[in-house]
Structure 1
């Protein structure tokens, strides 16, 4: 994951004349104040980001370097303008500058990615690309990804080729908010504070920086995966850069100290990716390392402009980064940032690999570099910098100079319109296709026998699979549609009633989403055999005594699962259902087969001590390939079949149901095992009886679950004696 290169400072047309110190806040190209070493630092940052993404699969800290530089350059320019008496505070020119700087290259890369998505990825992925294209163009991609991170049903989705644009969205939101804040404050208080405006701005930014940093720590501890994309949790990194812009013209340091600071800062930036796991630690306190190092590097050459005795002199690291190779790399950092990640993801998708080899990675970086150079030279710069026109230039010359730029701008604008229209059109197509899913509940069992094809060798006519690959995503349990399952952030116990609500016999369905997907069959059986089903469900959270649970799949800490378990067990015991229906096994993370975790034993003991019997359901298989979950619908849409898109039974299920080992210890434990309803002797296929088994990588589709109801009813009847199975 990475971030965009900050907009380089551009001249501001003022009625007043800013002081030399004010100019030193960020400098402009062609002036002595301009910091070419920071262009070089951008080059270092983009190199770290790209290399760590391609070959190491880690976060390098380059994201945070870019954020701090963005705050310094953009914030410095706005502060300089706001503190200049008589300077215009009209925000429209700044917004136009941002649009010219950021949108053209973004539109081109998004359009190229759309073409590659159609050519390389299955149609089940097109909707995600369309959604994220719109989110990227609208600069709310970070919130789109935060929603994916917090949504358990989307947790297994493949990495998006647009995932890296989250940071652009954070910066775009920051630019507009900072513009409104600084110019709005200047308009209101310029006369009140007068010459003390700088102090007022420093105090304001300091308060906001501290507030954002504290919030980042709290959000990181509560839900790091979501906090990673949170705009306010990231704001302190940009604000700290802006504060550096406020101090840069006033700082005095001897050369030996500046050199030491520059060396230490550069070493910290270079070592950050190797020493800190940013994917897990940012935007928490450890993000201070790359951000703080960037600010120190900025300040290490601060007084070279403001102090005439040191003008033109910089510490050795700064002089090194101000050389042409680093500056040239920094000048195309934004385009390189845009290109390298999608090219890497599309290459991995095309080859089926999970990591890039050295040669593969070198090829991706080479192509990314060429495309970045072309994009910078022929798209970014022509649209970013207006054609020069001197006062003596004739009108025909002006028009001749502007015409290519106008044509290029028009082409990019049309490309953006076409991309937006195409994204909306495909989304509408998918909505129409999924609307047909309403008829899934009425499918004929003769045409779509599903599990009956395995259990009773029912004949399977040659008919199209249902749900289709586009319908599968929405073939969800009724509890999800009704909002009867607590999400990741909610620790409240949500209870809903299914089956026969007037029945005197009750089964409590409790646990995570793998308990939840049985509600479809339990609801049918409850209405048929007159028992009530009360749900106690939370996403990704089985009944467990584990004090530090982890989210299954990505192993991130899930403390709210522990808190919810404490609450739900108290409620279940107080409600005293006739049976508790929950999962009793999980797949091994480290080897083939499944296991009953030791942290489940405490649950069985507590329920048994309260004379509450347990219907212990063996978990259904998870689709995993090369250690990573995969979607059956994606595989089928990409040309696979029922066998190639399934998994070997021995990889996901042990020969012996692990729950059986605990029956003697807990007589009230009633094992249920539906493995033969989803798997053959040697393989668990993706499709059985013309019905798709999974709506994602590991949850049974509602349509297939209906076909399992008869066998589930037989096993429950044997366990409870409520009816004859």
Structure 2
């Protein structure tokens, strides 16, 4: 422990850290929250407004490190429990209240398709692990169509809370290590440790952003250097009002504002690009309140917004998410202005009636134990609420699954794709009865454990051991190969295999069509997934060619999703078609009966179950014109050119004018492009006929 004599000596020898309150920092908070809110309301105009979060991270690092250092200098020690209790009183009352009210708003005002995901994310947010929940979803191919929930913005609050939990312990650890090495200067000890953290975390942020940007964006480990930058600024700050401060302040303004206006969602962020808003914020913190910029930031309008910035951040996003469900359309300018006004009003009420009273009054402020008890009880109540909510949804899904099974057991030629067969004379394409499976049950199929067990992830090149249909293979063995669109045919293949006595070997991998060409996705920031796909395809090819029991190969792919590069430098559609042709030719030469199933038509791009839920009496609003939905399938083009049989299922999705999202009382897609379990299963009858 640092002795009182040592700290008194250091206080005389060194300038006192930055004071506890600086109005320009409150103004800087206003800039940060303004960037975030305007970005969420007008993302095509304030394209890089997400850097406001980075500004908040630097400010937090600056203030918290300054407070901790000051307490160590003044008292000779740091009471970590007391520090944590202050954070609880400051942050948890408002955040838990917003989570509960947001959950109730979702239950009352939004379709049931949003409920399950919302319940999971509110629970994660209450425990301040929402960033890891979203990071996991961001790399989960089957969850890529998840829509934003009212709790999505809690990812940054989760990162901050993790910082608050670890930072004081980390600083005490740094001091302990430095004392063991004979050093007594607390400022230098902390500064040295933060410098190491800054360098290591920044380096990892750069590497991780190139490898997997979606995960890196949410990860605490790729963001901690931003807090360290603020902490380092607090420790090197000695005075304000220097002549160079004005230049420093303007450089900071330019860096932050230009980042907010120039960066886009396509920017490789965080990584090294985040240095611009981070160093800009550091420059503003170091320049102080004495500059012209600092004086503007210290004006009453700026400090007022800064004072309520935490509540603004809490309430603005739930309003943005829920309001379109109330109005029935996307936010237009009038609604956006109304949301902005409501955000300011609710934030002021939260600050006045929730944040300030519970922060200073004896109810929570009298003893740290009370704050901790409140945190445990509050988190438990919110998590209990979301757990009960999720359990109720699971029960509903179980009941719906049983009802679906019973209805499917009854022969009905107009159920599902049969409704589009003209000879069946079925009436309305959508059907006129209740849905075979309710929208929330269909949406939940993105977590189907069968497909997860049979479809390889984006990163791994290993072949999975997956067999469906008749495991004994009494009548032969076939293979189902392709990307996730082929994976969505697994229920069809399973049903077909059981009917025919076929053992079906499944070789599917997310975002990996079975071809010799290289598929290219512009959103990928490294070659890792492309290389993984190429290695997986080589392994699948070898497995099929080496397995004499496989007599038939059924292939399908989402070819319109990719750009193509071929061997010998070929590119574009020709490279894609050549890649499929080469692979099919090898299988045919090996004696395999190759069949290619046409890909599903394009949808509007939104979640189909959500669209059906929003238009229960007008499912035709979820349909897409046939001319838009049916585009060239390169795998089909390649197959036809090589005289390989094609099973074209387009007529089971579309009539002459439109392609449908609901057919014969069955929802066609479980997300924005993958077949629902029910529709896929019902295709088995039609595929069986066309195979023959």
Range into which the TM-score falls when normalised by the shorter chain: 0.7 to 0.9
What's the CA shift for 1:317?
1.4
Shift in alpha-carbon separation, 1:255–1:581, aligned structure 2, 3 A: same
1:49-68 paired onto structure 2 within 5 Å:
49-57=36-44, 58-60=47-49, 61-68=51-58
1:515 corresponds to:
486
What's the CA shift for 1:148?
2.0
Which has the higher mean CA deviation after the structures are superposed, 169-178 or 323-332? 323-332
Secondary structure at the counterpart of residue 454 of structure 2? coil
2:568 corresponds to:
none
Which has the higher mean CA deviation after the structures are superposed, 638-647 or 170-179? 638-647
Instruction: Output the CA distance in 2 between the equivalents of 1:402 and 1:217.
Output: 41
Shift in alpha-carbon separation, 1:611–1:255, aligned structure 2, 3 A: same
Does residue 351 of structure 1 match 2:331?
Answer: no
What's the CA shift for 1:375?
1.2
Secondary structure at the counterpart of residue 281 of structure 2? helix
Aligned to 1:457, which of 424, 447, 452? 424
Instruction: Output the CA distance in 2 between the equivalents of 1:650 and 1:147.
Output: 36
What's the CA shift for 1:48?
1.9
Does residue 260 of structure 1 match 2:247?
Answer: yes
1:679 corresponds to:
654
1:572 corresponds to:
540
1:111-510 paired onto structure 2 within 5 Å:
111-186=100-175, 190=179, 193-249=182-238, 255-277=242-264, 280-301=267-288, 314-354=290-330, 356-386=331-361, 419-436=382-399, 439=402, 440-441=404-405, 443-446=408-411, 449-455=415-421, 457=424, 464-475=434-445, 480-481=450-451, 483-503=453-473, 505-510=476-481
Q: Which segments of 5 or more consecutive residues in structure 1 lack a partner in the other structure?
A: 1-12, 29-33, 302-312, 388-398, 591-595, 718-725
Deviation digits for residues 219-261 of structure 1, max 9, x if unmatched? 1111111211011011111111111122113x79x83322111
Aligned length: 658
What's the CA shift for 1:631?
2.5
Instruction: Output the CA distance in 2 between the equivalents of 1:155 and 1:495.
Output: 24
Aligned to 1:81, which of 71, 85, 90? 71
What's the CA shift for 1:711?
0.9
Instruction: Output the CA distance in 2 between the equivalents of 1:22 and 1:136.
Output: 41
Instruction: Output the CA distance in 2 between the equivalents of 1:477 and 1:386.
Output: 46
Instruction: Output the CA distance in 2 between the equivalents of 1:76 and 1:621.
Output: 58
Does structure 1 conserve the Cα–Cα contact (< 8 Å) formed by 2:210 and 2:268? no
Aligned to 1:46, which of 6, 16, 33? 33
Instruction: Output the CA distance in 2 between the equivalents of 1:89 and 1:255.
Output: 32
2:567 corresponds to:
none
Shift in alpha-carbon separation, 1:122–1:15, aligned structure 2, 3 A: farther
Shift in alpha-carbon separation, 1:409–1:563, aligned structure 2, 3 A: closer
Does structure 1 conserve the Cα–Cα contact (< 8 Å) formed by 2:451 and 2:488? no
Does structure 2 conserve the Cα–Cα contact (< 8 Å) formed by 1:14 and 1:86? no
Instruction: Output the CA distance in 2 between the equivalents of 1:376 and 1:479.
Output: 45
- TM-score for both structures, normalised by structure 2: 0.86
Does structure 2 conserve the Cα–Cα contact (< 8 Å) formed by 1:499 and 1:526? yes
1:623 corresponds to:
603
1:582 corresponds to:
555
Secondary structure at the counterpart of residue 296 of structure 2? helix
Instruction: Output the CA distance in 2 between the equivalents of 1:597 and 1:223.
Output: 27
1:588-603 paired onto structure 2 within 5 Å:
597-603=573-579
Instruction: Output the CA distance in 1 between the equivalents of 2:285 and 2:265.
Output: 22
Secondary structure at the counterpart of residue 703 of structure 1? helix
Instruction: Output the CA distance in 1 between the equivalents of 2:5 and 2:160.
Output: 25
Shift in alpha-carbon separation, 1:169–1:546, aligned structure 2, 3 A: farther
Which has the higher mean CA deviation after the structures are superposed, 109-118 or 168-177? 109-118
Instruction: Output the CA distance in 1 between the equivalents of 2:458 and 2:82.
Output: 43
What's the CA shift for 1:477?
9.1
Deviation digits for residues 615-674 of structure 1, max 9, x if unmatched? 2221113431xxxx223322333352463353134154338877665456323x322211
2:84 corresponds to:
95
Deviation digits for residues 351-389 of structure 1, max 9, x if unmatched? 3444x44333222111111111121122111222347xx
Secondary structure at the counterpart of residue 228 of structure 1? helix
Higher helix share goes to which structure? 2
Does structure 2 conserve the Cα–Cα contact (< 8 Å) formed by 1:509 and 1:537? yes
Q: Which segments of 5 or more consecutive residues in structure 2 lack a partner in the other structure?
A: 564-571
What's the CA shift for 1:599?
4.5
Deviation digits for residues 453-491 of structure 1, max 9, x if unmatched? 333528799753222223213446977456221223323
Does structure 2 conserve the Cα–Cα contact (< 8 Å) formed by 1:113 and 1:342? yes
Deviation digits for residues 129-156 of structure 1, max 9, x if unmatched? 2222111110011111112212222222
Secondary structure at the counterpart of residue 458 of structure 2? coil
1:27 corresponds to:
19
Instruction: Output the CA distance in 2 between the equivalents of 1:335 and 1:14.
Output: 42
Instruction: Output the CA distance in 2 between the equivalents of 1:235 and 1:544.
Output: 41
Aligned to 2:689, which of 699, 704, 714? 714
Does residue 536 of structure 1 match 2:507?
Answer: yes
Which has the higher mean CA deviation after the structures are superposed, 601-610 or 507-516? 601-610
Shift in alpha-carbon separation, 1:541–1:280, aligned structure 2, 3 A: farther
Shift in alpha-carbon separation, 1:463–1:321, aligned structure 2, 3 A: closer
Which has the higher mean CA deviation after the structures are superposed, 454-463 or 167-176? 454-463
Secondary structure at the counterpart of residue 510 of structure 1? strand
Does structure 1 conserve the Cα–Cα contact (< 8 Å) formed by 2:211 and 2:525? no
2:569 corresponds to:
none
Deviation digits for residues 668-694 of structure 1, max 9, x if unmatched? x32221122233333333333333322
Instruction: Output the CA distance in 1 between the equivalents of 2:96 and 2:117.
Output: 17
Shift in alpha-carbon separation, 1:373–1:657, aligned structure 2, 3 A: closer
CA RMSD of aligned residues (A): 3.6
Secondary structure at the counterpart of residue 233 of structure 1? coil
1:5 corresponds to:
none
2:674 corresponds to:
699
Shift in alpha-carbon separation, 1:569–1:414, aligned structure 2, 3 A: closer
Deviation digits for residues 280-321 of structure 1, max 9, x if unmatched? 4221110000001111222223xxxxxxxxxxx822212221
Instruction: Output the CA distance in 2 between the equivalents of 1:445 and 1:502.
Output: 28
Shift in alpha-carbon separation, 1:568–1:642, aligned structure 2, 3 A: farther
Instruction: Output the CA distance in 2 between the equivalents of 1:578 and 1:603.
Output: 22
